[in-house]
Structure 1
Amino acid sequence: MNNLLQQIMKFGLVGVFCFFVDYFLYLIANFAFEKVGIASIFPKYYLLSALVGFIVSVVVNYVLSFKFVFVRRDDMSRKKEFTIFLILSIIGLGVNELCLFVGIDLIYMNWGWLQSIMSEAFAKNLFFKFGATAVVMVYNFITRKIFLEQKD
């Protein structure tokens, strides 16, 4: 159990670092899309912003995960390992996008009392983004442990 706790802590540190990579790229893309007018053409531009952050952070996460967190399987090529990692990450992206869509479009935009206690920017950039990240972190740890780590 001690090894699992250490592994979860390492995963958390890698995850926090990758979250900041993802999050800052998400914020930068949101800002850029708003400044160049894409937000008025495509109101769900924040989903594109999430994709930008995802693409970069998944590569960083792959490298750091197998350097510090997970033990590589001896019976799996690096190409297959990355492919599985990428597939699991794409599913995680879907979960992230779904959480953002449900949180922002279905909940925040339709609940006036929620709009009265938080701004749209806070809802998009902090509240629902952090919630989505928490859900995806749990998913990522469990699936990577099951499908990618060397079994004892």
Structure 2
Amino acid sequence: MKKLINQILKFGVVGGIAFIIDYSVLFICTEFFGIYYLISSLISFSVSTVFNYIASIKWVFDVNQKKSQKKNFILFIVFSVIGLGLNQLIMWFGVDTLHIYYMLVKIGATAIVMVFNFITRKMFLE
């Protein structure tokens, strides 16, 4: 149980840093470069996912070394793409349907995708 709590705390730290990266890149791309918010969201999500992958493998999860690193990476990418789809769906629904400011919707989208990420990475990477 202590190991799981430690992992959750580490995942929270990594997730917090990834969120800052994601949120900052989203804002910069949209506000300073004038990129449509869904494209900015795709870019920011992708950048933060690369950071998250490296940090998760190095620091958070006890990656099963019996599985090939290629297979681990492919699983990570597959679940990240699903997470991206969830993120984009939530962003679109919140902004275009509910008319909520995109930066506020991003907070909720990130929370939902973070739970999905932890569960899938815990199940398939260890």
- TM more than 0.5: yes
Given the alignment of the two structures, is residue 124 of structure 1 paired with residue 102 of structure 2, yes or no? Answer: yes
Higher Cα Rg: structure 1 or 2?
1
Aligned pairs for 1:60-79 (under 5 A) are 60-79=51-70
Q: Could you list the per-position Cα deviations for residues 70-111 of structure 1 after superposition, in whole angstroms to 9, with x for gaps in the alignment?
A: 011122111111111011011001000111111111112xxx
Q: Could you list the per-position Cα deviations for residues 89-148 of structure 1 after superposition, in whole angstroms to 9, with x for gaps in the alignment?
A: 11001000111111111112xxxxxxxxxxx6xx211x2110000000000000001111
Shift of 1:3: 1.4
Distance 2:49 2:70 in 1: 15
Amino acid across the alignment from 1:143: T
Moved over 2 A (4+): none
Distance 2:31 2:70 in 1: 35
Q: Which runs of 5+ in 2 are unaligned?
A: none
Amino acid across the alignment from 1:11: F
Shift of 1:54: 1.6
Shift of 1:32: 3.4
Distance 2:125 2:91 in 1: 27
Report the counterpart of residue 134 of structure 1 in structure 2. Answer: 111
The TM-score, its normalising length taken from structure 2, stands at 0.94
Distance 1:22 1:128 in 2: 13
Q: Could you list the per-position Cα deviations for residues 42-87 of structure 1 after superposition, in whole angstroms to 9, with x for gaps in the alignment?
A: xxx1110011112211111111001111011122111111111011
Overall identity of the aligned pairs, in %: 48
When the two structures are aligned, how many residues end up with a matched partner?
Answer: 126
Distance 1:76 1:3 in 2: 21
Q: Which runs of 5+ in 1 are unaligned?
A: 39-44, 109-119
Distance 1:100 1:78 in 2: 32
